[in-house]
Structure 1
Amino acid sequence: MQKIIVDICAIIMPTLLGYVVWLLKNQKKDRDANSKGTMLLLRVQLIEYHEKWTERGYITKHGLENFIEMYDAYHSLGGNGMVTKLLEEIKKLPIRD
């Protein structure tokens, strides 16, 4: 009886482990796709905010805080230096209430 249980476990365990590995790989693909999509949406929004504030010639305190927080999230997702240039330009704008 004990040999049968050992034989069954020897068959089931590799199959079960293979399934777990497959699930984890698919979850990683989903997370990567979500991160990429989020990063792209942040970039679009940062570009739009940059255009808005530079056209006005100033930025509000809350606008600057939001821009910096969005930039930090974008950068942590692997965003590139193009948006860093936008941040530098935004920081040079005068702050108004």
Structure 2
Amino acid sequence: MKEFLMTTYTIVLPILMGYIVWLLKEQKKTRDANSAGTLCLLRDKLMFYHDKYTDKGMIPPYALENWEKMYKAYRELGGNGMILGMDAEVRKLPLEH
């Protein structure tokens, strides 16, 4: 009986480990795709906010708060580039009352 269990263990364990590795790789692909999509959506919304409020010459406090949260998430997801300059411009805008 002990020999049967050892044989079964040595056969089943590598198969199970291989399956777990495959699952983890698939989950990583999904997470990477979700992160890339989120990054694109955040960049689009940040550009929209930038254009809207710089054209207006001021920004409401709630919009600035949204900007800050979106910008933080964008940076944490690895976003960079032109949005960095836009962030400086948006933060210089006077608050609308």
Tell me which interval the TM-score lies in, with the shorter structure as reference length.
Answer: over 0.9
Does 1:48 find its partner at 2:36?
no
Q: TM-score, normalised by structure 1?
A: 0.97
What SS does the aligned partner of 2:80 have?
A: coil
Identity score, percent: 49
> 1:6-28: per-residue Cα shift (whole Å, max 9, x none)?
10110000000000000001101
Q: Which residue of 2 aligns with 1:85?
A: 85
Q: 2: distance between equivalents of 1:79 and 1:67?
A: 14
Structure 2: segments with no counterpart, 5+ residues: none
Query: Number of matched residues?
Result: 97
Taking only aligned residues, the RMSD between alpha carbons, in angstroms, comes to 0.7
Deviation at 1:61, TM superposition (A): 0.9
Greater strand share, 1 or 2? 1
Q: TM-score, normalised by structure 2?
A: 0.97
